[in-house]
Amino acid sequence: MNLVEILLSERLREVDPTLDVFGSDRKVLQIACQDLTNYLKVHWNLVGKEASECELVEKLEKFFNENQSELDEFLGIWTKTWFRKWKERVKLLIGNENSKRWDKVTKVLNNAEPIWGKLPNRQEMQEILTFTLIKNGEVCGTSILAENLLKMEIGEKKKESSNTQEYAVNIVNNALRKARELAHSKGPLIYVKIDKGYYQYSK
């Protein structure tokens, strides 16, 4: 377990003691860790740097060793903000709830998958979108939203040739415009489909 997981697991349990961050709610912790990592990369100007992960860990460890009370205060505020957004942004779809809307989105995302997998610069494209979401005030699900915004653009433009630089630029520009709108919107953006039987069992 890395330092980010250790620090955030404690803060999440403070925000909601019912969370089982190492069991059934492990996904909540994983997404929170990714979001904090993305946020710190933007805050410390590490976006686009090749060794950004290593540099981030070094900076965080230094912060932890030299200014622990300041780090605790920052993490407390950030986690409360993140969890409030999590409750607003993530909606569980039980059984076949909203299945028509879900099926349409799933179809577009599936159309995009083969092209997305072949794009050589997809990581850089996703980083640009993540950076824009965070700069516009989004803190929750930034990697998921960035990837899905790009895939939705690709899926809707499936007939276009994806082998040109112009194609990639158009995809990013269209997705960036939607990212800015998305960051300022209210309500759920991430839908998690779960089995009705599991939900009844887990309740």
- Report domain extents, the chain: 3-91, 93-202
Q: Are 153 and 111 in contact (CB under 8 A)?
A: no
Could you give the CA distance from residue 161 to residue 183 in angstroms, rounded to a whole number? 29
Q: Which of 158, 44, 51, 39 is nearest to 109 (CA)?
A: 158
Give the position of tokens 């899905």.
148
For residue 198, what pLDDT is reported? 37
Please list, in sequence order, all residues whose beta carbon lies within 8 angstroms of the beta carbon of residue 117, skipping any fewer than 6 positions away. Answer: none
Could you give the CA distance from residue 35 to residue 166 in angstroms, rounded to a whole number? 30
For residue 29, what pLDDT is reported? 95
Q: Are 122 and 116 in contact (CB under 8 A)?
A: yes
Regions of the chain short of the pLDDT cut 50: 196-203
pTM of the model: 0.88
Could you give the CA distance from residue 175 to residue 129 in angstroms, rounded to a whole number? 7
Q: Are 107 and 124 in contact (CB under 8 A)?
A: no
pLDDT tens digits, residue range 31-79? 999 999 999 999 999 998 877 889 999 999 999 999 999 999 999 999 9
For residue 177, what pLDDT is reported? 96
